[in-house]
Structure 1
Amino acid sequence: MTGVRRTTWAALRARRRPLGRLAAWSVGESLPALLSGLLVARAVDQGFLAGRFTTGLAWLAGLAVAVLIGAVATGRVYRSLGAVVEPFRDELATRVVDGALREATRAGGRPDSAAVARLTQQVEVVRDTFGGLLLVVRGFLFTAGAALLGLLALSPPLAAAVAAPLLLGLAVFAAALPAMVTHQRAQVAAGEELGRSAAAALTGHRDVLACGGQGRVIAAVDRRIVAQSNAERTLARMAALRSLSLGLGGWLPVVVLLLAAPWLVRQGLSTGAVLGALVYVTTGLQPALHALVQGVGGGGLRYAVTLDRILRSCPPPGPHDEAPPVAPPPDPHPVAPPPALGPAPRTAAVRARGLTFRYGPHARPVLADFTLTVAHGEHLAVVGPSGAGKSTLAALIAGLVPPESGSVHLADTPVTAATPQALARLRVLVPQEAYVRTGTLADNLLYLRPEADEATVAAALEALGAWPLVDRLGGLAAEVEPGALSAGERQLIAAVRAYLAPAPLVILDEATCHLDPSMEARVERAFARRPGTLVVIAHRISSALRAHRVLVFDGDRPLVGSHQELLHHSPTYRELVGHWQEPAPDTRRAVTSTRG
């Protein structure tokens, strides 16, 4: 916990002026605790017991004035508290975000889902508990100190009789703190593990269902839930030690005063002084101790353990983190050709050279000097994080948007010079949001190839597994209501339409994302067997395992190669696949950069 102490002390030292204002207003707030017992004693001894009722009320009126002053000071205390707590919270949030970004963007790094819990939960826990700790520790020091000073003014023996059990209760509480910290740390760690387990289960739920691993995943998450539940119960049991401390330090002084009251009166202590002592204990010391034990034993433990977790998970940047990025050395090995796919054609299905594209003149390029060749008959999968440029590449290849610079040729035809009719004969693009129009099912399937005969349509439906959908809709002649179809059904209709199209190049831009994994695999295998070339903008990483080659958008340096080749060369691809084993040595040379 050295880092917690150092960080806390640094945060307080950096805000001396707000702390000074907080201490000054705390003096005013503790005024009732300092004067309450003395004024009550004077009201009883010099007023009510002496038969001077007005004098007694005057002394109590003085106490009322002190309470009003304390109330005004309390409002100022909270205003000063924000000037200390909020900047500390901002510093921690900045540290968590910086640490998560460094880890996610460094070579070989990976995103950490627990960073979300640290930012949205743990930083807020530290903020709230830091403010609470300042309040209760400050309150105990000023309130308990004022009450003890008042007791000392009434009677030094009384002050000693009260201080002894108070110190005993504090000692018991301090002795139990290490165990409390250990159990609180276990509770925070269990919460993070549960967050990671739940995030992994939710992220991979489609593949879990496809592989039939529901039972195993549920059991893993359940173990994390049980672990966190056990940690919470252990923390609850530690509350018994806090109760013991409160009993010794808060209630034992009351018992001592009540038992010793007759003896104290015989020794010459006035009745008002005994009553004033009880007021100091019950309205000053006891509430202050209760707030301290509950605050430090609850919020204080959460503060120490949670802040320690943040500091360990998000260390400050080292010298290597501040160094400018170094460009990778050029690959000295020759670029390997794509897999053999029969006799080599004279022209490529897709040839992109030096493509640069950005959304707006001042925007960061989505693609920069991008070069790619896709051979006739090849099956290419394009993978990468969301927003990396996969759909932009599909639109450029299909000729839907012009590049800022560079060129795209489909079978030696430049897409920027081709008419829409010519492009329709060269390629078919199936987007994620499939278009289905009102009309018969046959109209929707055949409008890219209206001359297709029944046997051709039947073969396409069989290849893509679409006959159950046809039967459900009532046959090919049935009227289709697009709004009544599910997203997956619309995608399947669009896939059959593209399968029937005469274009030799098919581009599936996340066109099967609403299908279940088994149906997605069937559709992609059908397109791979279809004569022509297939480019799949992958929604699931399993699409990459079915392709001849894979293009991965790995930061600013897209790479193309086989599955095994990319496992070695691309940290992004390893993260997407979830595979960290070292590949065989003979797969290290064939990865190609897409830089022109």
Structure 2
Amino acid sequence: MIVLNVLAAAAGLAGPWLLGRIIDEVSGGGGVQAVDQLALAILAFALVQLLLVRYARLVGHRFGERTSARLREQYVDRALTLRSSVVERAGPGDLATRGTTDVEQVAITLRDAGPDVLIAAIQAILITGVIFLLDPVLGVCGLAGMVGICIAARWYLRRAPAAYLDAGAANSELAEILASTASGARTVEAFGLQARRVAACQAAVERSRSTQLRTLSLRSVLFPVVDVSYVIPVVAVLLVGSVLHGNGALSLGTVVAAALYLRQLSQPLDTILVWMDQLQNSGASFARVEGLAQAMEPDQSSGQHSNPGPPSSSLVPADDQIAVRDVRYAYDAGPDVLHGVSLTVRPGERLAVVGPSGAGKSTLGRLLAGIERPRVGTVTVGGIPVADLDPELLRRHVVLVTQEQHAFRGTVRDNLAIAAPSATDAALGAALCAVGADWALELPGGLDAEVGGQAIRLDGAQAQQLALARVVLADPHTVVLDEATALLDPGTARHTERALAAVLRGRTVIAIAHRLHTAEDADRVAAMEGGRLIEVGTHDELLAADGTYASLWRSWHGRPGA
């Protein structure tokens, strides 16, 4: 690619020099034949340059497409290996913007800007060198006239990177707000939050607009200065060259050739300056794409970011026992939401975690599933910190199922095979029946029925049942159910929970629930309040103790006073 670009730039230098020769030939009384030969030579060099540029661009575009393809694949790989907590903090809108708009900006640079800037830079260097070969004095005049471009470019480059990073962040924020508003449209309507969401969207649009205006203001200073700076060196060369020609130091053809070269120099410089704006934009985009490689977990104690390193595949739990020891946890360096929680879950035990809203139940579930790391204390499985396990190994030990589930676009089989790629149709059907999702087998096409997108649309309860079927297929030794049946109606939820209990018999089940019939069926109940573990025992023991759990039980049955 570099060789072809050098040859193309060299071929482009022949035109002004040959035109200067024609002027000298005519001035010196040369014949028509010599002029025709020089004109044909100009045409030949132009055709050679055209072919070289064509193949140089072809090679450059192939390079750009291969590189951008690798970049896209690498981005997807990195996004899929991010810890769940990082994904949740970033938000789907931000990740989608990085994976679409930002990656496309980098791809444009690799495919178009890279080759164009390379060609232009080579042309500018060669043209400048040729001017100095024609006459050093004219070369100095030409470069002196370009000082304005250097000053304007330096001013621009000191301000542009930060401005484009701000613009990218504002666009991601806008995408995130729009995505969350659209996905939660029913909730917004149900709670009358339309005005609040519209105001938030308008504020995000305004922030995005202001950052775009900032980058526009930078360009509005750069380009006018550059346009004026192109004229100054040509004028300087013509004035100085006319004096030298009058004194017999230079031929008229040399002066004209130098002026033409300076005019020709404006084309590659224009290309570089135009793409410089794109390069700033794509540079910010590339930083955001590559930022996934350095996605860091928040340090709970300091609020700073620290990288705990990738999970190790060499860590293997000695057994299935889960132990929580004096755990404290805070979100984003805020106040602790868990305070010294200690708990041991025996293998094969069914434990219900109950408590009022805000008690810390879901946070404890996230720690048990390895999604979050405790600020203080440890959460281990078989003596190994849960969050340190390799993701594939972790999911064979612990699976978290929440009420927020998703039916992926594809067939029912595709949705289930995520958990067990090698499962047979019989195993998939059995998993569906186990969680009361027989309806999936009755769809047109059965396991091959297309769901999601423009195909069969599943409601939240149906998507939840597919998620529970995936749990059955994944066959972990510990399942953390965080209100996993909340989207189901009470009758279906009760049936599904009993079916799951039968399927998961012999495995550890940690059920976080507000429906206390789950606690009544459990081996033990852990009651939480204010981020603390208040009491642990069987359903009957805690009722007899007449503490927090007993109060919750009476409230749930409509008897808050007694």
Q: TM-score range, shorter-chain basis?
A: 0.5 to 0.7
Q: Following the alignment from structure 2 to structure 1, what is the Cα–Cα distance between the partners of residues 251 and 273?
A: 33
Q: Greater CA deviation, 246-255 or 176-185? A: 246-255
Q: Which residue of 2 aligns with 1:282?
A: 263
1:44 to 4, 18, 23: 23
Q: 1:109 to 1:220 in 2, by over 3 A?
A: closer
Structure 2 counterpart of 1:386, one-letter code: H
Give 1:176 deviation, angstroms. Answer: 2.1
Q: Following the alignment from structure 2 to structure 1, what is the Cα–Cα distance between the partners of residues 495 and 278?
A: 49
Q: Which runs of 5+ in 1 are unaligned?
A: 1-21, 340-363, 371-380, 393-400, 409-414, 417-426, 436-486, 492-506, 512-523, 539-543, 566-580, 592-596
Q: 1:211 to 1:588 in 2, by over 3 A?
A: farther
SS of match in other structure, 1:585: strand
* Deviation per residue, 1:408-466 (Å, 9 max, x gap): 9xxxxxx99xxxxxxxxxx998969999xxxxxxxxxxxxxxxxxxxxxxxxxxxxxxx
* Deviation per residue, 1:452-481 (Å, 9 max, x gap): xxxxxxxxxxxxxxxxxxxxxxxxxxxxxx
Q: Which residue of 2 aligns with 1:329?
A: 321
Matching of residues 107-126 of structure 1 within 5 Å:
112-113=91-92, 114-126=94-106
Structure 2 counterpart of 1:562, one-letter code: A
SS of match in other structure, 1:321: coil
Q: Which residue of 2 aligns with 1:186?
A: 166
Q: 1:111 to 1:240 in 2, by over 3 A?
A: closer
Q: Which residue of 2 aligns with 1:412?
A: none
Structure 2 counterpart of 1:274, one-letter code: V
Q: Which residue of 1 aligns with 2:135?
A: 155
Q: Which residue of 1 aligns with 2:533?
A: 585
- For the pair 1:302 / 2:302, whether they are aligned, the reply is no
Q: Which residue of 2 aligns with 1:222?
A: 202
* Deviation per residue, 1:472-526 (Å, 9 max, x gap): xxxxxxxxxxxxxxx99xx9xxxxxxxxxxxxxxx97579xxxxxxxxxxxx999
Structure 2 counterpart of 1:277, one-letter code: A
Give 1:190 deviation, angstroms. Answer: 0.7
Structure 2 counterpart of 1:130, one-letter code: L
Q: 1:137 to 1:431 in 2, by over 3 A?
A: same
Q: Following the alignment from structure 1 to structure 2, what is the Cα–Cα distance between the partners of residues 383 and 322?
A: 27
SS of match in other structure, 2:146: helix
* Deviation per residue, 1:510-555 (Å, 9 max, x gap): 79xxxxxxxxxxxx99975xxxx442799xxxxx9xxxx999x9xx
Structure 2 counterpart of 1:68, one-letter code: L
Instruction: Check the 8 A contact 2:174/2:208 in 1, yes or no.
Output: yes
Aligned residues: 401
- For the pair 1:129 / 2:109, whether they are aligned, the reply is yes
Q: 1:337 to 1:86 in 2, by over 3 A?
A: closer
Q: Which residue of 2 aligns with 1:267?
A: 247
Q: Which runs of 5+ in 2 are unaligned?
A: 297-306, 323-343, 355-391, 417-424, 444-455, 465-485, 517-528, 540-562
Q: 1:588 to 1:116 in 2, by over 3 A?
A: farther
Q: Which residue of 1 aligns with 2:512?
A: 561
Matching of residues 196-235 of structure 1 within 5 Å:
196-235=176-215
Instruction: Check the 8 A contact 1:117/1:195 in 2, yes or no.
Output: yes
Matching of residues 467-546 of structure 1 within 5 Å:
509=462, 528=490, 533-535=491-493
Identity of aligned residues (%): 15
Bigger-Rg structure (1/2): 1
- For the pair 1:243 / 2:243, whether they are aligned, the reply is no
Q: Following the alignment from structure 2 to structure 1, what is the Cα–Cα distance between the partners of residues 28 and 162?
A: 55
Q: Which residue of 1 aligns with 2:328?
A: none
Q: Which residue of 1 aligns with 2:332?
A: none
Give 1:119 deviation, angstroms. Answer: 1.6
SS of match in other structure, 1:535: helix
- For the pair 1:27 / 2:16, whether they are aligned, the reply is no
Give 1:92 deviation, angstroms. Answer: 2.3
Give 1:385 deviation, angstroms. Answer: 2.2
Structure 2 counterpart of 1:39, one-letter code: L
SS of match in other structure, 2:511: strand
Give 1:95 deviation, angstroms. Answer: 3.0
Q: TM-score, normalised by structure 1?
A: 0.56
SS of match in other structure, 1:30: helix
Instruction: Check the 8 A contact 1:96/1:310 in 2, yes or no.
Output: yes
Give 1:45 deviation, angstroms. Answer: 0.8
Q: Which residue of 2 aligns with 1:103?
A: 82
Q: Following the alignment from structure 2 to structure 1, what is the Cα–Cα distance between the partners of residues 508 and 109?
A: 44
Give 1:383 deviation, angstroms. Answer: 3.4
Q: Following the alignment from structure 1 to structure 2, what is the Cα–Cα distance between the partners of residues 288 and 165?
A: 16
Q: Following the alignment from structure 2 to structure 1, what is the Cα–Cα distance between the partners of residues 431 and 97?
A: 45
* Deviation per residue, 1:12-62 (Å, 9 max, x gap): xxxxxxxxxx11111221124322222111101113662523212211211
